[in-house]
């Protein structure tokens, strides 16, 4: 277990929280930051919070990230002003202020920390159980994008430059293969060949954006299924999580990443990629939910590339996992040897499955 959990009692004192510290435990399955569910006791009542220890290698300067999150959540709260305060708190993340008046504990010894109010009676899924869950997640992400379509606050910072620049991701993969610092490339001949054959795919959305055919929007950019909270009782999509990468981007990045995370029927790090067969019923639900959530805002050319975006974002993520495996697993946290290799192979298998079922899946997209 990371030593960060030992810092939580000290960090707790730095936030404005009613009550006394009781306990903390690791929470969620994120690859980047360390997340803990923290329990406080106030007048005999347990209250829960989410504490996150930010990954300093990924976010060396977390202040622009936190400003983005503040701007976005403030805008969302204004857009949802018609709801009761209790309902609004279930649909928008609530940052806990620090005793210094900010929203980030920036400590040279303990690291960078933030805290959110925990949303009760809600859950996330790493692997979805029903197409209805896919619909609700897509609806939530589409609505999130729609609510931000009239954002007029301070410009959002590009917190992770070139995050979905697939051409640069491909180039980074090539560089890692050529450098091969740990001698791992010799075990990846099939994956390297697959990547080289799919290089043209990496250029597709980049070129469309450069031509002006696809507009830039404010997007989430990390629309994994487990970044949406669903109501534990009704199954309704409630709240979009993990706002670190909310910045200007393409709607197709968001949709494609949903396809990548939701249409895969097995765990992301499944050691047997032959089990990866993209689910058509889930893809159909994602299309319906996302189009409903974005409320007619997508251009015909964006809808025409919905399926391709799933192939592209799966390919991109596979490149990233394999690049990290070749480079010594320095970005995505691993819990066993070759976990990033298995993650990359699963993503490439999903690309192949989406390609094989292309004609069937295209039937689920309304004609422009």
pTM: 0.93
Nearest to 127 by CA among 276, 255, 312, 245: 276
How far apart, in whole angstroms, are the C-alpha atoms of residue 297 and residue 286? 16
DSSP class of 60: S
Contact indicator for 289, 136 with CB cutoff of 8 Å:
yes
pLDDT for res 127? 82
Domains and CATH numbers, the chain: 3-120 (3.30.200.20), 131-362 (3.90.1200.10)
pLDDT for res 333? 87
How far apart, in whole angstroms, are the C-alpha atoms of residue 268 and residue 348? 11
pLDDT for res 358? 97
pLDDT for res 58? 86
pLDDT for res 368? 64
Contact indicator for 113, 35 with CB cutoff of 8 Å:
no
Which stretches of the chain drop beneath a pLDDT of 50?
1
Cα-based distances in Å from 232 to 29, 93, 118, 349: 18, 17, 14, 32
pLDDT for res 31? 73
How far apart, in whole angstroms, are the C-alpha atoms of residue 59 and residue 184? 27
Q: What string of DSSP letters covers 137-160?
A: HHHHHHHHHHHTTT--SSPPP-SS
Contact indicator for 22, 46 with CB cutoff of 8 Å:
yes
DSSP class of 254: H
90 CA to centre of own chain: 19
How far apart, in whole angstroms, are the C-alpha atoms of residue 21 and residue 367? 55
The residues facing 15 across adjacent strands are 98
pLDDT for res 3? 86
> What angle, 0 to 180 degrees and rounded to 10, lies between the N-to-C axes of helices 306-327 and 280-294?
110
Burial of 96 (0-12, 13-18, 19+ CB in 10 A): middle
Cα-based distances in Å from 125 to 28, 157, 221, 247: 10, 29, 18, 24
Place of tokens 């277990």: 1
pLDDT for res 1? 46
Q: What string of DSSP letters covers 190-246?
A: HHHHHHHHTHHHHTHHHHHHHHTSS--EEE-S---GGGEEEETTT--EEEE---TT-
DSSP class of 119: -
């Amino acid at each position: 277990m990371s030593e960060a959990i030992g810092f939580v009692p000290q960090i707790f004192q730095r936030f404005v929280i009613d009550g006394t510290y009781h306990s903390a435990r690791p929470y969620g399955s994120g690859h980047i930051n360390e997340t803990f569910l923290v329990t406080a006791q106030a007048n005999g009542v347990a209250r829960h919070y989410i504490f996150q220890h930010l990954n300093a290698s990924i976010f060396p300067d977390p202040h622009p990230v936190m400003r983005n999150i503040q701007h976005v959540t403030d805008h969302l709260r204004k857009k949802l002003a018609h709801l009761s305060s209790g309902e609004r708190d279930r649909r928008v993340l609530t940052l806990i202020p620090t005793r210094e008046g900010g929203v980030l504990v920036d400590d040279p010894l303990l690291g960078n920390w933030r805290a959110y109010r925990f949303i009760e009676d809600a859950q996330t899924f790493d692997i979805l159980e029903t197409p209805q869950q896919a619909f609700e997640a897509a609806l939530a992400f589409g609505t999130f994008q729609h609510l931000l379509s009239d954002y007029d606050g301070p410009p959002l910072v590009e917190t992770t430059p070139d995050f979905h620049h697939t051409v640069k991701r491909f180039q980074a993969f090539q560089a890692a293969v050529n450098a091969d610092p740990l001698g791992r490339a010799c075990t990846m001949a099939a994956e390297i060949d697959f990547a080289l054959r799919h290089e043209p795919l990496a250029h597709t959305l980049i070129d469309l954006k450069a031509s002006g055919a696809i507009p830039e929007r404010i997007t989430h950019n990390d629309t994994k299924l487990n970044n949406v909270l669903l109501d534990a009782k009704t199954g309704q999509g409630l709240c979009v999580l993990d706002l670190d990468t909310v910045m200007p981007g393409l709607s197709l990045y968001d949709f494609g990443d949903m396809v990548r995370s939701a249409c895969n029927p097995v765990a992301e790090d499944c050691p047997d990629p032959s089990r990866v067969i993209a689910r058509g019923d889930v893809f159909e639900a994602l299309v319906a939910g996302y189009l409903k959530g974005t409320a007619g805002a997508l251009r015909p050319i964006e809808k025409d590339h919905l399926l391709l975006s799933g192939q592209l974002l799966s390919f991109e993520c596979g490149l990233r996992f394999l690049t990290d495996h070749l480079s010594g697993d320095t970005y995505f946290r691993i819990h066993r040897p070759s976990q990033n290799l298995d993650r990359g192979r699963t993503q490439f298998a999903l690309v192949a499955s989406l390609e094989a079922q292309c004609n069937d899946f295209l039937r689920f997209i309304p004609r422009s």
